Amino acid sequence: MNEIREILEFLVGDEDPVLSPLGGGVSCLVVLATTSKGKWVVKQALPRLMVKDEWLADRDRIFREAGCLKALRELVGNDVAPRIIHVDRIRYAFVMEYGEEGVTWKEMLMKRVIDSSVTDRVATILAELHRKSHGLENIVAEFSDDTNFVQLRVDPYIMHVAKKHQDIAQKLLGVADLLRRRRLCLVHGDYSPKNILILPDRRIWALDCEPAHYGNPVFDIAFCVNHLILKSIHLSSAAHLEEGRRLWRNYWHNAGWESTEILEEEAVKVLATLMLARVDGKSPVEYLSEENRDKVRRLSRELIAEGVGELGELTDRVLEVIG
C-alpha cells in the first residue's frame, strides 16, 4: 500500500490515510482512502489480471479509463460518472470521487430487485454516450487505438473461445472482425451491472471503462444485455429476461442510428458470442452452476452456428431454457 500512499501525497500531505481495499474487479488494485479531508477511490492498473489463465494487458489502459470517465461527464452529464481528481502517469493510477453508500445494479439484480427506472436510465446513458460521441474529432483522436479493447475483450473473450470451439471458430472470428472494423462512436467496453452504481440520491454512475475505444456500439449493448440474460438463467427469472429486452428496446430507440437493422443484427451475433465467452472465456461469470454453464454453452453454440440475428428469437430460446 506504500505506492497508494505516494499517489495520495498531493491530496493529504503528511497525513496517513486509512486504506481499505475495494473488491469487484480483476484488472486493478482499487482502494478507498479515508482522510480528514474526505474520501477518495484510488485505482491502479495491474500488469497481470487476477484470473486463472494468464492474461496480460498494458498498464496504460488506466489512462484510457480516466479519459472515458471524463468524456462521459462532458458528453452525457456530470451526474453519470465520478469526477477524476488526479492522474498519476508514473504509477499507472488515478484518484476519483467516491460514491458513498452506492449500490451496484448487479447487487440489486442478484437480490431479485427489478427497478425499470434504473434499466431505462442505464439504456439512456449508453445511447447518449454513443450518439454524442459519434464523429467527434477529439474523441476519434483520443480513443482510436483499440489495443486495450483487443487485450481486454477480443483476445480473452472471443479468440480464446474460438480455440476451444473450433467447429464454430470462423463464426467467432467474424464477430471479432466486425467489432474492430466498424467504428462509429466511443465504446465503454465494460458496460455491465457490476459497473453501474446507483447512488442514494438516485444518480447513476457508469464505472470501469478500461476497454474504452472508438469502435462499434453494438458491443456495449450486447455486453450489458448478456448479463441480464445470464442472471435470468441463474435465477430462473423471466423478469430479468424482460429487463434485458427493455434495455435493448430503449437503447435502440434513443441511440438514433441510421442503419439500425444492420447494427441490431450484428449486436445479436455479438450477444450470442458473449454468452459463450462468459462460460468458456478467460473471465467466466462466477455465479452460474455447472448445470447452468452447460445450458448457456449449448444454447449459445446453437445460436452462433445458426447465425441467429434477431433478439426476439434469441430471448425466446433463453425463455425455453429458463422453463
Is the domain of 76 the same as that of 109? no
pLDDT bracket for residue 269 (50, 70, 90): very high
Is the domain of 126 the same as that of 36? no
Asked if 48 and 59 touch (Cβ cutoff 8 Å), the reply is no
Nearest-10 crossing angle of helices 218-234, 238-255: 170
Instruction: Tell whether the model's pLDDT for residue 103 goes beyond 80.
Output: yes
Is the domain of 284 the same as that of 172? yes
pLDDT at 51: 47
Q: Residues 85-96: pLDDT tens digits?
A: 999 998 889 999
CATH of the domain at 173: 3.90.1200.10
Compute the distance between CA of residue 236 and CA of residue 6 in angstroms, rounded to an integer. 47
CA angle at residue 45 from 39 to 49, to 5 degrees? 125
pLDDT at 25: 60
Instruction: Tell whether the model's pLDDT for residue 56 goes beyond 70.
Output: no
Q: Residues 174-223: pLDDT tens digits?
A: 999 999 999 999 999 999 999 999 999 999 999 999 999 999 999 999 99
283 contacts: CB under 8 Å, gap ≥ 6: 26, 49, 51, 55, 156, 157
pLDDT bracket for residue 60 (50, 70, 90): confident
pLDDT at 55: 56
Is the domain of 69 the same as that of 184? no
Query: Which pTM was predicted?
Result: 0.93
- Calculate mean pLDDT across residues 15-30: 78
- Calculate mean pLDDT across residues 150-159: 95
pLDDT at 57: 63
Domain enclosing residue 122, as ranges: 103-322
DSSP 262-283: HHHHHHHHHHHHHHHHHHHSSS
Is the domain of 144 the same as that of 291? yes
pLDDT at 49: 56
Is the domain of 315 the same as that of 241? yes
pLDDT at 53: 52
Domains: count for the chain: 2
Is the domain of 147 the same as that of 168? yes
pLDDT at 104: 97
- Calculate mean pLDDT across residues 64-75: 97
User: Strand 84-88 vs strand 38-45: parallel, antiparallel, or unpaired?
Assistant: unpaired
Instruction: Tell whether the model's pLDDT for residue 18 goes beyond 80.
Output: yes
- Give CB contacts under 8 A, 24+ apart, made by 178-181: 178/216, 178/218, 178/266, 178/269, 178/270, 179/149, 179/154, 179/215, 179/216, 179/218, 179/219, 179/270, 180/146, 180/149, 180/150, 180/154, 180/215, 180/216, 181/216
Compute the distance between CA of residue 198 and CA of residue 201 in angstroms, rounded to an integer. 8
- Calculate mean pLDDT across residues 307-311: 98
Average the pLDDT over each of 42-56, 125-139, 231-245 and give the range with the smallest value.
42-56
Instruction: Tell whether the model's pLDDT for residue 130 goes beyond 50.
Output: yes
Last residue in a domain, options 48, 82, 97:
97
Compute the distance between CA of residue 196 and CA of residue 219 in angstroms, rounded to an integer. 16
Average the pLDDT over each of 12-16, 29-33, 149-153, 300-304 and give the range with the smallest value.
12-16
Residue 21 burial (CB count, 10 A): 10
CATH of the domain at 55: 3.30.200.20
Task: Please give the distance of CA 173 from its chain centroid, rounded to a whole number.
Answer: 21
- Calculate mean pLDDT across residues 293-316: 98
- Calculate mean pLDDT across residues 268-295: 97
Is the domain of 217 the same as that of 254? yes
Last residue in a domain, options 48, 69, 97:
97
Is the domain of 194 the same as that of 312? yes
Is the domain of 175 the same as that of 217? yes
Instruction: Tell whether the model's pLDDT for residue 155 goes beyond 50.
Output: yes
Last residue in a domain, options 97, 119, 148:
97
Asked if 6 and 19 touch (Cβ cutoff 8 Å), the reply is no
Is the domain of 179 the same as that of 231? yes
Asked if 187 and 215 touch (Cβ cutoff 8 Å), the reply is yes
Is the domain of 179 the same as that of 86? no
pLDDT at 241: 98
